[in-house]
Amino acid sequence: MVNAWPLLALAALTGITLFVRRNSDITTPPPAASKLAATTAADPVTGEETAVLTAPPMVPPPITRKHATKVKVALEVKEFLAPIADGVDYTFWTFGGSVPGSFIRVREGDLVEFTLKNHPDNRMPHNIDLHAVTGQGGGAAASFVAPGHSATFSFQCLNRGLYVYHCATAPVGMHIANGMYGLILVEPKEGLPKVDREFYICQGDFYTEGAYGQAGHQQFSMEKAIKEEPDYVLFNGRVGALTGDQAITAKVGETVRLYVGNGGPNLVSSFHVIGEIFDAVMAEGGDQRTNNVQTTLIPAGGSAIVEFKLDVPANYILVDHAIFRTFNKGALGILKVEGKEDALVYSGRQQEGIYHPEGGALQTLPRGDNAKIAAAPADRSKEERLQLGKRMFESICFACHQKEGQGVPNAFPPLAKSDYLMADRARAIRTVLSGQQGKITVNGVEYNGVMPAQNLTDDEVANVITSVMNSWGNQADMVTSTEVAKVRATLGH
Ligand SMILES: [Cu+2]
> What are 72-104's pLDDT values in tens digits?
999 999 999 999 999 999 999 999 999 999 999
Q: How far, in Å, from the CA of 140 to the mean position of ligand 1?
A: 10
Q: How many Cα atoms are found within 13 Å in the side-chain-facing hemisphere of 410?
A: 2
Q: What is the pLDDT of residues 222-253, one digit of tens each?
A: 999 999 999 999 999 999 999 999 999 999 99
Q: How far, in Å, from the CA of 293 to the mean position of ligand 1?
A: 35
> Helix %, strand %, coil % for the chain, to 5?
25, 30, 45
Beta strand 269-274 pairing with 314-320: antiparallel
pLDDT computed for residue 18 by the predictor: 37
Q: Give phi and psi for 168, each to the nearest 5.
A: -130, 30
Q: How far, in Å, from the CA of 417 to the mean position of ligand 1?
A: 48
In the structure, what pLDDT confidence band is assigned to residue 340 with cuts at 50, 70 and 90?
very high
- Nearby residues of 53 by Cβ (< 8 Å), 6 or more positions away: 60, 73, 75, 96, 102, 103, 104
DSSP 473-488: T---PPP-HHHHHHHH
Lowest mean per-residue pLDDT among 22-36, 295-309, 395-409, 471-485 = 22-36
Q: How far, in Å, from the CA of 250 to the mean position of ligand 1?
A: 35
Mean pLDDT of all residues belonging to the chain: 89
Q: How far, in Å, from the CA of 242 to the mean position of ligand 1?
A: 25
Count of residues in the chain: 493
- Tell me the average pLDDT across 66-70: 97
Q: How far, in Å, from the CA of 185 to the mean position of ligand 1?
A: 21
Element of type H or E holding 276: none
Q: How far, in Å, from the CA of 51 to the mean position of ligand 1?
A: 22
Query: Hey, which residues does 218 pair with through a beta bridge?
Result: 90
pTM (predicted TM-score): 0.69
Whether 314 shows a pLDDT value over 80: the answer reads yes
Separation of alpha carbons 147 and 313, rounded Å: 48
Separation of alpha carbons 453 and 90, rounded Å: 43
Q: How far, in Å, from the CA of 2 to the mean position of ligand 1?
A: 14
Beta strand 278-282 pairing with 289-293: antiparallel
Give the alpha-carbon dihedral of 449, 453, 457, 461, to 10 degrees.
10
DSSP 211: P
Residue 237 contacts residue 99 (beta carbons within 8 Å): yes
Sign of CA dihedral 284, 63, 319, 57: positive
Whether 451 shows a pLDDT value over 90: the answer reads no
- Tell me the average pLDDT across 253-273: 98
Residue 317 contacts residue 332 (beta carbons within 8 Å): yes
Sign of CA dihedral 230, 282, 243, 335: negative
- Tell me the average pLDDT across 413-438: 95
Percent of the chain predicted with pLDDT > 90: 78
Q: How far, in Å, from the CA of 177 to the mean position of ligand 1?
A: 10
- Tell me the average pLDDT across 453-465: 91
Whether 455 shows a pLDDT value over 50: the answer reads yes
pLDDT computed for residue 15 by the predictor: 38
Separation of alpha carbons 339 and 234, rounded Å: 29
- The three-class DSSP label of residue 391 is helix
Q: How far, in Å, from the CA of 151 to the mean position of ligand 1?
A: 14
275 φ/ψ sector (left φ>0, alpha ψ -120 to 50, else beta): left
Separation of alpha carbons 179 and 264, rounded Å: 9
Q: How far, in Å, from the CA of 333 to the mean position of ligand 1?
A: 27
Q: How far, in Å, from the CA of 141 to the mean position of ligand 1?
A: 12
Q: How far, in Å, from the CA of 470 to the mean position of ligand 1?
A: 54
Q: How far, in Å, from the CA of 143 to the mean position of ligand 1?
A: 11
In the structure, what pLDDT confidence band is assigned to residue 28 with cuts at 50, 70 and 90?
very low
Q: How far, in Å, from the CA of 119 to the mean position of ligand 1?
A: 12
Separation of alpha carbons 5 and 170, rounded Å: 9
In the structure, what pLDDT confidence band is assigned to residue 360 with cuts at 50, 70 and 90?
confident
Spatial strand order in the sheet of 332-338: 248-251, 332-338, 314-320, 269-274, 295-298
- Nearby residues of 404 by Cβ (< 8 Å), 6 or more positions away: 416, 472
Angle at 320 between CA 315 and CA 326, to 5 degrees: 75
In the structure, what pLDDT confidence band is assigned to residue 376 with cuts at 50, 70 and 90?
low
Q: How far, in Å, from the CA of 213 to the mean position of ligand 1?
A: 25
CA 213 vs CA 219, 225, 380, 405: distances in Å: 13, 17, 44, 20
pLDDT: is 391 or 371 the higher one? 391
